[in-house]
Structure 1
Amino acid sequence: MTKLRMGVIGAGLWGTNHAHTFNVLPETELVAVCDIDEGRAQKMKESSGAAFALTDYEALVSRDDIDAVSVATPDFTHTPIILAALKANKHVLSEKPLATTVREAEKIVEAAAASRGKLMIDFHNRVNPILAQVRTMVQSGEIGVPRHGMARLSNTTFVPFEMLSWAAKSSALWFLGSHLVDVLRFILNDEVVRVYAVTRDGVLKAGGVDTRDFHLCILEFAGGAVVTMENSWILSPDNPSLVDFKLELVGDKGQIQADPTHNGGLRRMVEGGLRYSDYIGMTPTGETRIGGFVLESIGRFVDAVVRDAPLLADAMDGLANTKVLAAIEASAASGKAVDIA
């Protein structure tokens, strides 16, 4: 069988997940990795077994021995890389968000339509077993017509202060809200038509990270549901998990409460407190299989290219997501509700 020849752009935490998946799946071959930091690119090459390590993404996407690329770089860097790859007719898997401005997202949609390559956005919570089940419950009518709800996806200060070197160039809204907006669109199978948002800063700036502390939003959906949404980067580092993820939906016949934050069945009392270990997102498997929804979503990209399976999320999903996030920023800046065309 001819293997799908892959290149991974971005040698950070998520790029490592991409490289691992493409090394394990029998349908793929990891040819090259790329990062602007040469040392990091070389380190990933050595750990992943890729044949080449590059520092220029244009050099990677122009290679004839690469069929597809994955983009695992910071939020605000995706657009030029995706455009270059699509122009070269490569298949593209991009981490979220698709882009950080509506115009950039529209350019990508246009480029995807003109390219022979497929474009998928890695909204991996679409295959999170908890959230996939919530979608099934809602779409089957278990709670009737969704009327209102709340959604929280926030991080402790560890993320902006220690985990992300580029946090000042992003925010909890773009880093986390991109996931949460997609989750809500996916579960409700509906579009956001109006937003109202409030934001504050000060805590992160005082610590040397010049970005917003949090965004609190009200999302109105076309079908009538209203959901309050929180994305914060200032949760206490004493939390047992650096992520706090909660979702509740109330319908006219019932309600659903979901807590995908942690895996409560496996707990550790170490490091001065309670810690949860993940056994859903990342699951050990055999040598030629991947496990857990984090890697499963990357595998869905391979399925889409190799087997012509449906894309987990396409360019239009990415554009819709960016439109909502941009509207939230506009609303927070103006103090007024913003309609989404």
Structure 2
Amino acid sequence: MIRIGILGMGIRGEMYAQGLAQNRDSILMGISDNNPVILESASNKWGVPGYPDFHDLLIKGKPDAVIISTPDFAHCKPALMAADRKVHMLVEKPLATSQDEAMQIVDAVRSNEVICQIAFENRWNPAFVQLKNVIENGELGEISLVNTKLNDTIWVPTQMISWAGKTTVGWFLLPHVLDLAIWMSGKTPRKVYAVANEKLLPSLGIDTYDTICTVISFEDGMQSIFENSWVLPESSPAVYDFRFSILGTKGAMDVNSQDQMVHKFTDRFTYPGNLFLEIHGKTRGFPFYMLDDFISCLVESKEPIATVEEGYQVTRIVEAVHKSILCGNPVDL
């Protein structure tokens, strides 16, 4: 039985705790969070020890692996601590919010020979797995253009998370679609150009960008366009709007995951979503497939599907996105 601890008991930490409870090869051995109210509540709910200090979870709890589900900017220190104790880890995206920190994690993971999976969960999303299969079968030909849109409503930076002013929509949303573009195409990014605006959120006292638009040029001329915003009105039918299109020399394919085939009409029009939900007593969906695969990697001592080096690559590119915004020019990768 793999003993796994969780650092960060917010929305994602709770999701992972549920996933561990459903997995036959793992057990939740403890949790850690710097918010004492959240820590006590989660400790009571899951019936495990709660550690205010992550160091104590590692030293006293002696986990086989940990899940790092802290905010974007708070992954490096716990990842290094875990690697130094030779504890395997699943790290939320982005791996880190600077190239230097991401490389420190890569070096620590490899030198200590631990398994580290990055939570690029859409690699387990059935729609994108289908798209990946179509590309690998050669049905679309040579990929020339990737066009993506991943936007959130303003509820996310103003209510869902308390730390929006310490990150950007680039770090929060772009890694999802950037990883998909690289994974789908198998191509290497060469140059990035990005622009941003900051109007609505700063007016609400949240010092961060409203929107970032990015163009990335890949080897052999493939272009990718990324639209990321988190100021959609709360009246939007879903919390997010996620669309992904690929054009090749033989064909094209679109993924629109917003409505998920379900339309709800009450006092307002909404898309309830069905990509992950409780089905006959168990919560199902692609984040849980991802977690199950991570646990399988631990059981079988194999390399994960989303590696620490791939996490580093995404961090390096998103850092270049922010450099391009500030300098107003393209940045070579």
Give the shorter-chain TM-score range. Answer: over 0.9
**Inter-partner Cα distance in structure 2 for 1:182 and 1:111:** 22
* Kept in 2: contact 1:155–1:243 (CA 8 A): yes
Counterpart mapping for 1:157-236 below 5 A: 157-236=154-233
* Kept in 1: contact 2:115–2:303 (CA 8 A): no
**Inter-partner Cα distance in structure 1 for 2:223 and 2:278:** 35
1:280 aligned residue: 275
Deviations 1:187-216 (A, max 9, x none): 112221111100111110001111011110
1:61 aligned residue: 58
Whichever residue aligns with residue 309 of structure 2, its letter is M
Q: Does 1:147 align with 2:141?
A: no
Give the TM-score taking structure 1 as reference length. 0.94
**Inter-partner Cα distance in structure 1 for 2:218 and 2:154:** 31
Query: May I ask how many residue pairs the two structures share in their alignment?
Result: 333
* Kept in 2: contact 1:69–1:85 (CA 8 A): yes
Deviation at 1:139, TM superposition (A): 1.9
Whichever residue aligns with residue 293 of structure 1, its letter is F
**Inter-partner Cα distance in structure 2 for 1:190 and 1:226:** 10
**Inter-partner Cα distance in structure 1 for 2:259 and 2:207:** 29
- What runs of 5+ residues in structure 2 fail to find an aligned partner? none
**Inter-partner Cα distance in structure 1 for 2:143 and 2:314:** 20
Deviations 1:24-78 (A, max 9, x none): 111111110110011101111111222x001111111223531111001100000
**Inter-partner Cα distance in structure 1 for 2:68 and 2:42:** 15
**Inter-partner Cα distance in structure 1 for 2:331 and 2:95:** 21
Q: Does 1:267 align with 2:260?
A: no
**Inter-partner Cα distance in structure 1 for 2:143 and 2:277:** 31
Whichever residue aligns with residue 328 of structure 2, its letter is G
* 4+ residue segments displaced more than 3 Å: none
Residue 60 of structure 2 aligns to a residue whose secondary structure is coil
**Inter-partner Cα distance in structure 1 for 2:330 and 2:227:** 16
1:302 alignment partner, one of 272, 279, 295: 295
Deviation at 1:334, TM superposition (A): 0.8
1:76 aligned residue: 73
Deviation at 1:283, TM superposition (A): 4.7
Residue 218 of structure 1 aligns to a residue whose secondary structure is strand
**Inter-partner Cα distance in structure 2 for 1:285 and 1:55:** 35
Counterpart mapping for 1:77-92 below 5 A: 77-92=74-89
Residue 187 of structure 1 aligns to a residue whose secondary structure is helix
* Kept in 2: contact 1:5–1:67 (CA 8 A): yes
Whichever residue aligns with residue 337 of structure 1, its letter is P
Alpha carbons of structure 1 residues 281 and 188: separation in structure 2 relative to 1, 3 Å: farther
Q: Does 1:14 align with 2:12?
A: yes
Residue 233 of structure 1 aligns to a residue whose secondary structure is strand
Deviation at 1:308, TM superposition (A): 2.9
**Inter-partner Cα distance in structure 2 for 1:241 and 1:309:** 37
**Inter-partner Cα distance in structure 2 for 1:139 and 1:334:** 37
Whichever residue aligns with residue 56 of structure 2, its letter is A
Q: Does 1:43 align with 2:41?
A: yes
* Kept in 1: contact 2:193–2:325 (CA 8 A): yes
Whichever residue aligns with residue 277 of structure 1, its letter is P
Whichever residue aligns with residue 254 of structure 2, its letter is Q
Deviation at 1:149, TM superposition (A): 2.7
Give the TM-score taking structure 2 as reference length. 0.97
- What runs of 5+ residues in structure 1 fail to find an aligned partner? none
Deviates more, 1:203-212 or 1:300-309: 300-309
Q: Does 1:103 align with 2:96?
A: no
Q: What percentage of residue pairs aligned between the two structures are identical? A: 28
Deviation at 1:286, TM superposition (A): 5.8
Deviation at 1:86, TM superposition (A): 0.4
Q: Does 1:330 align with 2:327?
A: no
Residue 5 of structure 1 aligns to a residue whose secondary structure is strand
Deviations 1:240-290 (A, max 9, x none): 0010101111111111111122312x22113x3211122223352566xx6
Deviation at 1:170, TM superposition (A): 0.8
RMSD: 1.3
* Kept in 2: contact 1:282–1:295 (CA 8 A): no
Residue 216 of structure 1 aligns to a residue whose secondary structure is strand
* Kept in 1: contact 2:30–2:61 (CA 8 A): no
